[in-house]
Amino acid sequence: MNYYSLNKKAPNTTFADAVVRGLAPDKGLYFPESITPLDPSFFETIEDKSNAEIAFEAIKQFILPEIPEDILKTIVEETLNFDFPVVEINENISTLELFHGPTMAFKDVGARFMARCLGYFNKTNTNHVTVLVATSGDTGGAVANGFLGVKGVDVVILYPSGKVSDIQEKQLTTLGQNITALEVDGVFDDCQDMVKQAFMDKELTDKMQLTSANSINIARWLPQLFYYMFAYKQLKSKHSDIAFSVPSGNFGNICAGMVAQKLGLPIKHFIAANNANDTVVNYMISQTYIPKPSVQTISNAMDVGNPSNFIRIQELHNNDFDALKANLSSYSYTDEETKAALLELYNDYSYVADPHGAVGYLGAKDYLKENDAHVVFMETAHPTKFLDVVEDVIKESVALPSQIEAVMDKEGVSIKINSYNELKGFLLS
C-alpha cells in the first residue's frame, strides 16, 4: 500500500516513510491510495473472531508487507491487551468504553500501535527520531506511555498551560526517560501551530528527523477503526441499524470510523458531537469552512478550532458535500448542557461518564429525535481524569483506578515555553 499527500504536491510513498515523516514534504496529510472492502463473510461471522483477529484483518491491507505478517499480528495483540466493552444505557443508546488501557483514554490504541510500528522501523536505524506532538489533553499521556523507552525515539510533548486536567498533566510530565513535556503559554491551537511550523522549518528538519504522533500520523489514525468493529461485534445480534456518536476534537476518531465503513462495516450514520468549538457544525450548515481560535471547555480534549483530520473526511466522501451530509450530522453543546448530561446519565441510568462521553450522549439523543437507529456514543476517557468536574456535578466520590493512583503522588517535570523560537532552540539543543 502506498500513500499520497492530500496537498497533491509530493511523491507517493510507503507506509514506513509516511509513519516516520508524519507529514508529507508538501505538508499535506497522508492518505491510502486505495481502500478495498473486506469480504462480506468477514462481517457475517465477526462474533466468532477475537478482537486481535478482527483488527489484523482490518488493518493488514494498509501495512503488509512492510511489516511482516507475524510481526504485525504481534503488534496488534500487544496493542489490544485490554477490553472494549459496550454498556447499554437504554434501549436506543449504548456506550463503547474506550478507557480501559494504561492511560485510561481512547488514544492508548493509536499511540501503542504507532510506537510499535516506529520501533520496528527504527530497530536497525542508528539515527534518532524525534516525535513531536501537541496535546489538548489525552494524547500526551497516551503517546508518552506508548513510546516510553522505545529505542532511538525521543518524544517532545507540547501542552497548553492550565488547560489540561491535573491527572492528564501528571500522565505526561512524570515519566522521564525519553519523554519531555513542554508547557506552552497559550491554547491547544498554539501548540499545534508550533508543531506544524517545526515540520515546515527546513533548518530544523535538515538537522533532525521529526515525526508526529498526533492523529495526523497514519499509524496513530488508522487503528482507531478497530473501535467500530468491536462495537459491531457486540451489538450485531441485537440491532440492525447502528449509528455512532463520537466526541470530536481533531476528528481523527470519527474519520477512522468512516474508513471502517469503507471496509464494509454497516454503519448507518455518524454524529460528530462537539463542545463550543463548532467549526465543523457551522461548516455542515454553511458549506464554508472557517477555522476559529479554540475555546476552553470542560471537555478539553475537544478544544480544537481547526481540526486537522477534517480534510481526510472530505477525501473519504470525494469532496462531495451532499455525500458527506448524508453520512454525518454535527451538533455542539455548552458546558452547562454537558454538566446536565453528566447528571442525567448518573441519576437516570446510574452511569458515571466523563465530560467527553456526556457530549457524545447529547449527540446521540439529538440524532434520535428525527431518526431510528441504535446509537453508540464513545466514552473516550475514564471519568476520574476529570475528577473535579464529575464529582462536582454528581455530588459523589468516584474511586480512582490503579492506573490513575499510580501517578497521583509523582512530581511532574515540564519546561515552560512562550514561542516557536523557544521550541526550536530546545529541539536544536
Q: Three cell numbers at 156? A: 517532545
Maximum Cα interatomic distance, the chain, rounded to a whole number of Å? 57
Q: Is the dihedral of CA 209, 213, 214, 218 positive or negative?
A: positive
Query: Peptide bond before 223: cis, by omega within 30 degrees of 0?
Result: no
Amino acid identity, residue 27? K
* Distance (Å, whole) CA 329 – CA 306: 18
Helical H runs in 183-298? 188-200, 202-205, 218-221, 225-235, 252-262, 279-286
For the purposes of burial, counting CB atoms within 10 Å of the CB of 286, is it exposed (0-12), middle (13-18) or buried (19 or more)?
exposed
- Cell numbers standing for residue 44: 457475517
- Cα(94)–Cα(104) distance, rounded to whole angstroms? 19
Helical segments of 328-401, H only:
335-349, 355-368, 387-394
Angle at 134 between CA 361 and CA 210, to 5 degrees: 135
Q: Are 55 and 226 in contact (CB under 8 A)?
A: yes
Active site residue 238: no
**Identity of the amino acid at 401:** P
Name the packing angle between helices 138-147 and 107-121 (round to 10°): 40
Task: Tell me which of 73, 107, 365, 410 is the catalytic residue.
Answer: 107
Q: What are 372's three cell numbers?
A: 431510528
Q: Are 141 and 171 in contact, with CB atoms under 8 Å apart? A: yes
Report, as residue numbers or ranges, the catalytic residues.
107
